[in-house]
Copies of this chain bind each other. A is one copy, B any other.
Amino acid sequence: MFKKRTNAKEAKELFLNSFQPFLKIENLPIEECDGRIIAENINAGINVPHYRRAAMDGFAVRASDTLGAGTGSPVILRLSDNIESGTCMRVHTGSPMPQGADAVVMMEDTVLNEDKVEIFSQIHPFKNVGEIGEDVRKGEIILNEGRMLRPCDIAVLASLGTGKIKVFKKPLVVIIPTGEELVPRNKKNLEEGDVYETNGLMSAMYIRKWGGIPQLLDIVTDSPEKIKEAIISNLDADMVITSGGTSVGKRDYVPAVVGSMGKLLVHGVGISPGKPTALGIINNKPVICMPGYPVAGIVALFYFGKSAFRKLGRIPDEPERIVRAVLSEKIAGRTGYVTYSRVKIDNGRAIPLATMGAGILSSVSKADGFVIIPENIEGRNAGEEVEVVLIE
Contacts and interface: CB of A to CB of B under 8 A. Distances in A.
Interface stretch (A116-124, A230-238, A249-257): A249-257
Interface in A132-158: 134-136, 142-143, 150-156, 158
B248 A93 contact: no
Contact of A185 (B162, B209, B323): B162
A206 interface: yes
Given A143-B365, A158-B185, A319 B322 contact: yes
Given A142-B365, A190-B161, A155 B201 contact: yes
A361 interface: yes
Contacts of A180: 92
B96 A361 contact: no
A208 B180 CA distance: 40
A285 B107 CA distance: 32
A108 interface: yes
Contact of A362 (B92, B136, B192, B202): B136
B49 A93 contact: no
A274 interface: no
Given A160-B196, A161-B185, A201-B154, A50 B190 contact: yes
A215 to B, nearest CB: 13
B361 A159 contact: yes
Contacts of A95: 181, 193
User: Which of A134, A198, A362 has the most chain B CB atoms closer than 10 A to its own CB?
Assistant: A362
A196 B321 contact: no
A182 to B, nearest CB: 9
A179 B53 CA distance: 15
Nearest to A55: B359
Interface stretch (A64-72, A73-81, A290-298, A333-341): A290-298
Given A93-B247, A95-B181, A107-B248, A156 B359 contact: no
Given A142-B362, A249-B107, A293-B93, A51 B150 contact: no
A142 B365 CA distance: 9
Instruction: Give the bracket for the number of chain A residues in contact with chain B.
Output: 35 or more
A94 B193 contact: yes
B154 A195 contact: no
Identical chains bound together, number: 2
A150 B198 contact: no
A197 interface: yes
Interface string A47-59: 0111101010100
A248 to B, nearest CB: 6
Nearest to A183: B161
Contacts of A361: 48, 135, 152, 155-156, 159
A185 B31 CA distance: 11
27 contacts: A31-B205, A34-B208, A48-B361, A51-B193, A53-B193, A55-B359, A90-B250, A92-B180, A94-B292, A95-B181, A95-B193, A96-B193, A108-B248, A130-B359, A142-B362, A142-B365, A150-B365, A151-B201, A151-B209, A153-B365, A154-B202, A155-B201, A158-B198, A161-B185, A161-B186, A320-B321, A321-B321
Given A93-B292, A94-B181, A135-B361, 11 more contacts: A31-B201, A46-B190, A57-B247, A57-B252, A93-B293, A107-B248, A142-B362, A152-B202, A155-B202, A156-B365, A318-B390
The 4 closest A-B pairs by CB, nearest first: A57-B249, A151-B205, A155-B202, A155-B198
